[in-house]
Every structure is written in structure tokens, then in C-alpha cells.
Amino acid sequence: MSDENILENTKSKSIKEIKEEINQILEKLENQETNLSNSMNDYARLISLNKHIDLFFKKKNKEISKIGKKLKKNI
């Protein structure tokens, strides 16, 4: 999933806010009284949030790698 496919309101959230939303969704999904159609929507949202976090960490990993390479060159 590319960055443009992630909902705008998700992009503006911090990792902490996304984590809280994920925890809320997981609690709802673990509740046995939740209906199937709501569960499917919640699961889709959970996947979207997970992909956003994955993209965030990949971006940060690239930034850290670039910094590490620059530091190696200066040594």
C-alpha cells in the first residue's frame, strides 16, 4: 500500500495516537459480542494503521542509514 492510499487523518496522527487506536480496535475485536460487519471494518482499519506505521518506520530506517553512512565517511 502506498503512502497516498493511507487516509489523511491517519497521516496526521502520531505513533502514540495510532497505537491507542489500534489498542481500542483490538479490544473491540476481542469482544465476542461484536457483530461481523463491524469487525470486518475494524480489521480493515487495523490493517491500514499497521501499514502506516510500517511506512513510518521504513522512512526512519532510511534516514538513520543515511546518517550512519555520512558518519562512516567522516571517520
Instruction: Please enumerate, as own/partner, the contacts of 44-49 that have beta carbons within 8 Å and a separation of 24 or more.
Output: 45/21, 46/22, 48/1, 48/6, 48/7, 48/10, 49/10, 49/18, 49/21, 49/22, 49/25
Distance CA 69, CA 62 (A): 11
**What is the full per-residue pLDDT of the chain (75 aa) written as tens digits?**
445 555 666 777 889 999 999 999 999 888 878 788 888 999 999 999 999 999 999 999 999 999 998 888 887
pLDDT of residue 5: 54
The full set of domain ranges for the chain reads 8-74
Task: Let me know: does 52 contact 6? Beta carbons within 8 Å.
Answer: yes
Angle between helix 36-74 and 15-30 (nearest 10): 150
Question: Could you give phi then psi for residue 24, rounded to 5 degrees?
Answer: -65, -45
Report yes or no on whether pTM surpasses 0.85.
Answer: no
